[in-house]
A and B are shown apart, each in its own frame.
Chain A
Amino acid sequence: MGVQRFRSIEEMNATPLPRRSEDGFERFIRHNARYRLLSPRQYQRGVFRFRSLEEAQRARRELLAKSVPR
């Protein structure tokens, strides 16, 4: 399906995107690859321990905020 035509933005937004038949894992991997091309990150390697899920999630947010571009 090369080109789709719509009579309005509403009609366009309500129309599901055509997808290739493939499983979610492949889409997930390709999506992450594209995302990291746009926003590359390089994490410090190693093992880190957390006393709770909340502590781990807080660390994840901080990490995303300060991880350095390659």
Chain B
Amino acid sequence: MDRDEVLRALGALEKAGADYVVIGAAAMGFHDVVRATDGLDLLARAARENIDRIRTALREAYPDDPAVDEIRADDLLGEYPAVRYFPPSGDLYFDLVTRLGEMATYESVEAETKEVEGTRVRVAPPAALYRLKKGTVGPLDRQDAAVLKSHFDLEEDA
């Protein structure tokens, strides 16, 4: 995961005016709870124009990759609420999600703004990440939830 590549993509999302929240391990990293990942998880507002903005941003970040055009609103608003995009760099991927089961959407997850070198990034706060993590079934998510709960002294029903 290349720092400049991540910042370029996040900057392009801001420039395009995309509504998204960083969730997952990358969001934990923004809160100084660091574990390795290759995925940048983005919970996106489920609206056609927003998916268009995200595609525009990724097209700007990866101008030579025609695969970006396969990110389609019809999928993300319909039968495929999760789309994974592997850019040409090969060691990073983006998980674009418009809904997490019945649990969460962009509108239902709190977000705060972090700034990295002038780029504003919308990130889910620790308590919101904890709720998302504890509500999923993966062993890594359960582990993340436990770490978040301990690190931020969160209540069980935070």
Q: Do A and B bind each other?
A: yes
A interface residues with partner B (beta carbon < 8 Å): 23-25, 27-29, 31-33, 35-36, 40-57, 59-61
Report the count of interface residues on B (CB-CB < 8 A): 44
B interface residues with partner A (beta carbon < 8 Å): 1, 3, 6, 26, 28-39, 65, 67-68, 70-71, 75, 79-88, 90-91, 93, 95, 97, 100-101, 114, 116, 136-138
Taking A43-B91, A50-B83 as known contacts, 20 extra A-B pairs with beta carbons closer than 8 A to each other, sorted by chain A number, are A25-B29, A27-B32, A28-B26, A28-B30, A32-B1, A36-B38, A41-B91, A43-B38, A45-B67, A45-B88, A46-B67, A47-B67, A47-B83, A49-B84, A50-B80, A51-B82, A53-B81, A53-B100, A53-B136, A57-B138
Take A24-B29, A31-B34, A54-B137 as given contacts and tell me if A45 and B95 are in contact as well, using a CB distance cutoff of 8 Å. Answer: no
Take A43-B90, A56-B95 as given contacts and tell me if A28 and B34 are in contact as well, using a CB distance cutoff of 8 Å. Answer: yes
Docked-complex contact B83 and A23, CB < 8 angstroms? no
List residues of chain A with CB within 8 A of the CB of B30.
23-25, 28
List residues of chain B with CB within 8 A of the CB of A29.
1, 3, 6, 29
Docked-complex contact B82 and A42, CB < 8 angstroms? no
List residues of chain A with CB within 8 A of the CB of B70.
46-47
Closest to A55 in B: B82
Docked-complex contact A27 and B91, CB < 8 angstroms? no
Take A40-B91, A43-B90 as given contacts and tell me if A27 and B29 are in contact as well, using a CB distance cutoff of 8 Å. Answer: yes
A36 to B82, CA, bound (A): 25
List residues of chain A with CB within 8 A of the CB of B83.
47-50
Closest to A49 in B: B80
List residues of chain A with CB within 8 A of the CB of B29.
24-25, 27-29, 31
List residues of chain B with CB within 8 A of the CB of A32.
1, 36-38
Closest to B139 in A: A61
Take A33-B1, A53-B100 as given contacts and tell me if A24 and B31 are in contact as well, using a CB distance cutoff of 8 Å. Answer: yes
List residues of chain A with CB within 8 A of the CB of B87.
45
Closest to B71 in A: A47
15 inter-chain pairs at a CB distance below 8 angstroms, sorted by A residue, are A23-B116, A32-B37, A33-B1, A35-B36, A36-B38, A40-B91, A43-B38, A43-B90, A47-B70, A48-B84, A50-B81, A52-B81, A56-B84, A60-B39, A60-B84
